[in-house]
Each structure stands twice: as C-alpha cells, then as structure tokens.
Amino acid sequence: MADDSKKYVRALPHVNIGTLGHVDHGKTTLLRAILRAFAVDKAAVDAMIDKLDKDPISRAKSITISVAHVEISTAKRHYAIVDCPGHKDYIKNMITGAAQMDGAILVVSSKDGAMPQTKEHLLLAKQVGVQHIVVCINKFGQVDAEILELIKADIQDLLEKYGYDKNAPIVEVDALAGENGEESGLAEAKKLMDVVDETIPVPDRPIDQPFLMPIEDVFSIEGRGTVVTGRIERGTIKVGSDVEILGMGRKVQKTAVTGVEMFNKSMDQGEAGDNAGILLRGLKRTDVERGQILAEPGSVTTHTEFKAEVYVLSADEGGRKTAFVSGYKPQFYIRTADVTGEVKLPDGVEMVMPG
C-alpha cells in the first residue's frame, strides 16, 4: 500500500493508454524507453521496470504474461500505461488490459511488419471500445526506406479494415536505443508521447454516477488488511466510504474503505478512470476474487440470466468457423470476470451462423 508520505496530486488530466502488438515486436522495450525518457528519478524508473519483469515465467521467455501498469507525466498529462501480453495463449489478460484503455499505441516491428497478433490485438481493442490508436514502428537496425513504406501502407490497410482511422499517426522509434538511454532513442520516445498527447483525447469521465470498480487483483498487506485493485469505471471513492462487493456467485459483502491509492501514492479521492488500489476493512484475501465488483451500496444487482442481441464474428473477422445451437457454452469475458455461460436461442431458431 502507499507510503503515507507520498501523495498523488491531481495536477494534470489523467489518461489510460496501452501498448498492443505481436509478441517480440518490442512493446515492453518501448515502455522502458518511454519511462527512461520521462522519469526524473532513476530509482523510480528502475523500480517500475522491475515491476514490468516481475513474472519469472514471462521473464524467462521474454514474453509479457500479466497486465502491468506504470505511470509517466508529460507536460500536458498524467498517463497510466498498460503493457498488454502478446502471447496468443493469454487473450483474457489482453482483454482485461485493453478494456482499461482510453487509447493505445500499436507497436509493429520494422523487421516483420504486421503479424497475426497485430491483427488480433487491433480486433480485440476495437471490440472492447478502444477508439484511438497511434502506431509506433519499432526500428531494428538499418531499415530500407522502401520496405518501411510498404509496412506503413500495410498498417494503414489494417487500421481501416478494423474500423480505425487509416491516417492515424505513425511514429518511428528505436526502442532499444531509448531503453539503453541513448539520446536518439529518448528523443524518439518523447516525440511519440507528444503525438499521443495530441491524438488521444481526454475522455469525459462519469464521476457523477454511483461508484463502481471491477476488481482486477486482490492481495493482503500485513497489518493493514486486504487491497483490491482495478480501474474505477464510474463515480468517486474516499476513505470512510461504504461499499459492497458483488458477483462471481458469492454472497454480497458490505465493508468500508480505509485507504485509496494510485501508483503507491495515497489519494484524497479516487475518480472514474483512475487505476486504484483500495484498502478494505475487515476482509481476508480469500473473501474477494478477481471478477467481482466493488460498488456503492444498493447501486447494482447481480444476474445470472439476461437477454442480449449479439453479432457473432465470422472466421474472417477472427471469430467462429461453424454454427452453434442452443446449449452452446462459450467463455464470457465481462469486465474482469472470466466465466463459462450457456446460450439459449429464441424459440424457432435452430442454429446461428457466424456473421
């Protein structure tokens, strides 16, 4: 939990962005370069970089698995940056990360161009509501100018295919040079964030609505209690606020907030859009789980059945190849929850074809 001597000061507009792209295209390396370019305190940079590499399996494979959050401030904004997994087996974590973004940086290697997970991440980002994209071409060594133009044209076609502005900015960055502290790489990382400042708008936050935060993670702090983390979806939260914990088939629990933080800094108030850690009174680690909701008492209820009108993606759109019938049991990704559900088709409908 936060050091009480450190306080988060809301001096700049807060925006959540993330890095998307194919495995090994340099998303985490780019994030390290950005941290090097903007962090004044080298010790703080090193601590955040260590946090990015905290998963030993991920580190051994050089593949990001968990969704990691770090912070920087430009002259205009405070950013929380989500580092999304690129490995195909970790789609649900990518969905969790993408669902928290106000905009994204799509990282494409100059060696490979757009690859399968480049397309998959663009599709998923669009599906979970990420509207704004800035493209970063990560330069590996000397890049032939003609090849670079072909890569850019291919990226523009992909952006248009998945419903984004084909003229979205494309910025070239040598991420490894930036990570190593070389001036050329640091300057390119700063230029990238200048473009992000100008391209990705600050969203209108629903701070006047009842508080709600999907729980992404839960952990215990000895002598303090249980902390839940997540992105506040709506409303505000303060120390002393009463809250309810709902969902995942568990009985509704009532508790109170004893601490609010963001990036290990205490806050007077958490607001919609903040990636917050909230300390809860009188709960054990096992009383709460990822996928539940923290909410203002009486503001939401849980349901296990609902009617919905859905569009089923075709194989060409990254979805199903075959039809399905009543009784089909897919995975449902609802906010941070990952549960198996059952589909019941309307009377008279025997099957549904993708598309």
Tokens of 353: 């074809």
Q: Which residues of the chain have pLDDT under 70?
A: 1-5, 8, 40-69, 84-99, 317-318
**Domain annotation covers residue 48:** yes
Give 105: exposed, middle or buried? Use CB within 10 Å, 0-12, 13-18, 19+: buried
Domain closes at, from 199, 231, 266:
199
Q: Which of 19, 28, 29, 255 is catalytic?
A: 28
Q: Are residues 86 and 157 in the same domain?
A: yes
Q: Are residues 226 and 180 in the same domain?
A: no
Please report the pLDDT score of residue 125 as a whole number. 83
Active site residue 41: no
Contact yes or no for 255/280 (Cβ under 8 A): yes
**Domain annotation covers residue 127:** yes
Q: Are residues 221 and 179 in the same domain?
A: no
Q: Are residues 178 and 224 in the same domain?
A: no
* 70 three-class SS: strand
Q: Are residues 172 and 230 in the same domain?
A: no
**Domain annotation covers residue 326:** no
Distance of CA 156 to the CA centre of its chain: 23
Q: Which of 14, 19, 22, 24 is catalytic?
A: 24
Please report the pLDDT score of residue 326 as a whole number. 92
Domain closes at, from 295, 313, 346:
295
Q: Are residues 122 and 230 in the same domain?
A: no
Domain range for 285 is 212-295
**Domain annotation covers residue 307:** no
Please report the pLDDT score of residue 68 as a whole number. 59
Q: Which of 53, 74, 87, 190 is catalytic?
A: 87
Domain closes at, from 199, 227, 251:
199
Q: How far apart are CA 125 and CA 200, in angstroms?
A: 14
Q: How far apart are CA 187 and CA 303, in angstroms?
A: 51
Q: Are residues 144 and 54 in the same domain?
A: yes
Phi, psi dihedrals of residue 233, rounded to the nearest 5°: -80, -40
- CATH label of the domain that carries residue 286: 2.40.30.10
Number of domains in the chain: 2
Q: Are residues 175 and 265 in the same domain?
A: no
- CATH label of the domain that carries residue 102: 3.40.50.300
Please report the pLDDT score of residue 54 as a whole number. 53
Active site residue 208: no
Radius of gyration, CA atoms only, the chain:
21
Contact yes or no for 177/184 (Cβ under 8 A): yes
**Domain annotation covers residue 220:** yes
**Domain annotation covers residue 328:** no
> Which amino acid is located at 1 in the chain?
M
Active site residue 27: yes
Q: Are residues 99 and 52 in the same domain?
A: yes
Rounded to the nearest 10 degrees, how much is the dihedral formed by the CA atoms of 1, 101, 69, 301? 40
Active site residue 87: yes
Q: Are residues 193 and 222 in the same domain?
A: no
Please report the pLDDT score of residue 106 as a whole number. 92
Q: Are residues 87 and 64 in the same domain?
A: yes
Please report the pLDDT score of residue 1 as a whole number. 53
Give 262: exposed, middle or buried? Use CB within 10 Å, 0-12, 13-18, 19+: buried
Q: Which of 27, 69, 121, 139 is catalytic?
A: 27
Q: Are residues 19 and 123 in the same domain?
A: yes
Instruction: Please give the angle made by the CA atoms of 69, 72 and 74, to the nearest 5 degrees.
Output: 145
Please report the pLDDT score of residue 66 as a whole number. 46
**Domain annotation covers residue 64:** yes
